[in-house]
Amino acid sequence: MRRRVLSVAIATAAVTAGAAVPAAQADIAQSAVVSQNPVNTTPNVTDGTVRAIAVVGSKVVVAGNFDHVKNAGSSTTIARHNIFAFDAKTGKVDTKFVPKVDGTVYALQPGTSSTVYVGGSFTNTNGVGLGSLTRLSVTTGKAVSGFNARVGHGLVFTMVRRGSHLYIGGEFTKLAGKAHSPLARVDATTGKDTGLNLSVTTPRSGALKVYRLAVDPADKHLVIDGTFTQVAGKRRYQIAMINTSGTPTLSSWATERYATPCSSSFDTYMRGIDFAPDGSYFVVVTTGAPHGTTQLCDSAARWETNKTGAGQNPTWVNWTGGDTLLSVSVTGKAVYVGGHQRWMDNPQGHDSAGPGAVSRPGIAALNPTGGKALSWNPTRTRGHGVETLVATSSGLYVGSDTDELGHEYHGRIGEFPLS
């Protein structure tokens, strides 16, 4: 019997009664592909979009832009503005974690000592002007004293924590009151700048932004994407790799494969990035409209971490044939991709199913070696698409703007347990 999927777009490890609480996400190597059968205990976000998820101990923090949440099986609406938490085992919405932020939350990262880092378009946290990056106690919802990054004049879109380092990217122009590129590394305890201030410049279109970033588990390589076309004075068109050991430096790794225009509707068509659990490769997903196999629009592509020099090409590419991919999570056994795609394995598609195309509405799992779609196909309503995918030791969380997962109502969260 299928278990009802939750109503906030999440997919996560099994948290049914008696199941182990999932570990915080951080480069989880899973032993198998997750089940197609989602759990039925997660709460339901009934409006807006779930944009970020973080597992902190026994709590799951969910954020984005929304105002209403319901416990699974309940008709009672609970007011929660852009962020809330629920118990990973029972699925019940936490009644004590009720922080107030005055804007959309785009990024979350678990911290130590039952804390979570929160980034977005807000400037005030619980009525205090802390800027667009804050650290909250998951127990009380209060800001953690001593952490004050003072990110100003813009948004935080993306974050990754590696030990004492918190990497952030976005549209911001200031850090601690001083001019700064929209890429930074701050101390995870104090929020102070730790010396990553490579120039990121010359947007191809629109505002200068770092849209997504990923850091390998060993904290040696950082990959960023966004509107930029130069990093540290070198041409790096929408994507760049930075060596983070010691003093951060721009890597010689470079590719022109994302220099083609795709659709003019996007300031950048780059979307999600994620490293494999062993750090040996990373996968990038994009939007951009169908343009055939000469361009990487609307695609997922694997890149090898140890390559150096210009002219890099992907190990494999899987095209949707004209639909956006927004998010990616690499677990070793699978590369999970989410968006509002209709098909995968569709290089000849042009908003149509070309030769070899397979139906994978909204979410898919790809073979890490060859890139082809695996048989896993839970389906979900497409809407704008799956915004976030978070792997844990026990499954996969999915966050989105649509309510159906596996043909059942789940609001905007879903959870797929490991089989």
Residue bearing tokens 């850090």: 175
Q: Which residue has the tokens 């990035």?
A: 273
Q: How many CB atoms lie within 10 A of CB 113?
A: 11
Alpha carbon distance 32, 332 (integer Å): 9
Bridge-partner residues for 162, per DSSP? 165
Q: Please give the radius of gyration of the chain, using alpha carbons only, rounded to the nearest integer.
A: 20
From 350, 347, 342, select the one nearest 382 (Cα to Cα): 342
pLDDT on residue 14 = 34
pLDDT at 408: 67
Please list the pLDDT of the chain residue by residue as tens digits (419 residues): 334 333 343 443 333 333 333 333 457 899 999 999 999 999 999 999 999 999 999 999 999 999 999 999 999 999 999 999 999 999 999 999 999 999 999 999 999 999 999 999 999 999 999 999 999 999 999 999 999 999 988 999 999 999 999 999 999 999 999 999 999 999 999 999 999 989 999 999 999 999 999 999 999 999 999 999 999 999 999 999 999 999 999 999 999 999 999 999 999 999 999 999 999 999 999 999 998 899 999 999 999 999 999 999 999 999 999 999 999 999 999 999 999 999 999 999 999 999 999 999 999 999 999 999 999 999 877 778 899 999 998 899 999 988 777 766 777 998 999 97
Angle of CA points 291, 297, 301, to nearest 5°: 125
d(C-alpha 417, C-alpha 12), whole Å = 6
Residue (of 363, 285, 289) closest to 317 by Cα position: 285
% helix, strand, coil for the chain, step of 5: 0, 40, 60
Q: What's the pLDDT at 275?
A: 98
Cβ burial of 124 (10 Å; 0-12, 13-18, 19+) is middle
Residue spans of beta strands (DSSP E) within 25-164: 44-45, 49-56, 59-65, 68-70, 78-79, 83-87, 105-110, 115-120, 133-137, 151-152, 156-162
Query: Which segments of 220-355 does DSSP mark as H helices, in order?
Result: none
State the number of CA atoms in the 13 A half-sphere of 169 facing the CB: 24
Q: Kindly report the pTM of this predicted structure.
A: 0.93
- Identify the DSSP state of 101: B
pLDDT at 207: 97
Residue 264 backbone phi and psi in degrees, to 5: -75, 0
